[in-house]
Amino acid sequence: MFSAIARFFRNLFARWTGSIDQAADAQFTKDTTGVALAYDLEADQKAKEFEELLAAVGTIDTNIESKRKQVENKEAELADAQLRLNGCVNAHEAAEKAGNKADLEETERDGARISGEIDTISAALEKLNKEIKEDSDGLAPLEQELKDLKDYIAKLPQEKAEAIAQRISDEQRVEMYNRINNIRNKAKEKSPLAAVRQANDALHGQATVAGRITGKLNTKTDDKYRTAGKAEAASNRFQDMLKAKKAEQGAKTGETTAPATEDKATTDRPRI
């Protein structure tokens, strides 16, 4: 039960901190002022990291120098111990030649003591040299990190200027794109002029159809008149032939044939 309650509060805290992070990010990304502030905060943070790392590197370097001095002191102690041990060995040989039992016992005790000192000093030297090597090996990457951090901080002002310029350029491009889209969208909207054009096109289509229909009606009427005209022309030719025949017969018999009186309506009608 308690683990479930703890898990609930952990999840709640995670969501709460996530919301804070999102809100903070929004403040930095909404405009060029936020971008500039983000770079300033980054520069301040990295400057603090640089100072802390520099202090750590300085402490390690100081420790290394301190241990190197200890090594020098131990090496001097070792040299002295070896010198005393050599002297003790010589004294032991002299006592042995002289048969001096007391000196022999003393030189043996001193020789053992000095040998123990040499072992202790040698072990201390080995430990110091190992620590110096480890610290020096660990110091190299820290110094490289310190150099990289310094270079990073030095580049931030230029990157800040470029980021702000890029932000302004991108905002202008997006604004221009939105303007163009708005113009295009407005152009697609139906305007009064578009309605006029559409109505004119529809009326022109109707007029074209009406013209074709009227033309067909006129053609039928003309065909009717043409047929009637052909019939009348044939009748007139027949009458003219009859008149010519009678006139020819009258000329042979000496009779005069009066010209036929044409109907006024017929005479006044235009010949086709």
Same domain, 104 and 151: yes
User: How many domains would you assign to the chain?
Assistant: 2
End-of-domain residue from the set 145, 168, 189: 189
Same domain, 83 and 166: yes
Q: What is the DSSP string of 93-111?
A: HHHHHHT-HHHHHHHHHHH
**Has residue 41 been placed in a domain?**
yes
184-225 pLDDT, tens digit each: 776 666 666 667 777 787 877 777 777 666 655 566 666 666
**Has residue 12 been placed in a domain?**
no
Tokens of 53: 């790392």
Integer Cα distance of 171 and 31 in angstroms: 9
Same domain, 178 and 234: no
Give the Cβ contact number of residue 74 at 10 Å: 21
pTM of the model: 0.49
Q: What is the mean pLDDT of each run of 10 residues along the chain (272 residues)?
A: 48 47 68 86 91 90 94 95 94 91 91 94 95 91 90 90 84 81 69 71 75 61 68 70 75 58 48 47
Give residue 78's identity as a one-letter amino acid code.
L
Integer Cα distance of 152 and 164 in angstroms: 18
CA distances in angstroms from 48 to 55, 138, 155, listed in the order given:
11, 21, 16
**Do 95 and 107 form a contact (C-beta atoms < 8 A)?**
yes
Domain that holds residue 185: 31-189
Same domain, 49 and 169: yes
**Do 124 and 74 form a contact (C-beta atoms < 8 A)?**
yes
**Has residue 13 been placed in a domain?**
no
Same domain, 205 and 184: no
Same domain, 228 and 126: no
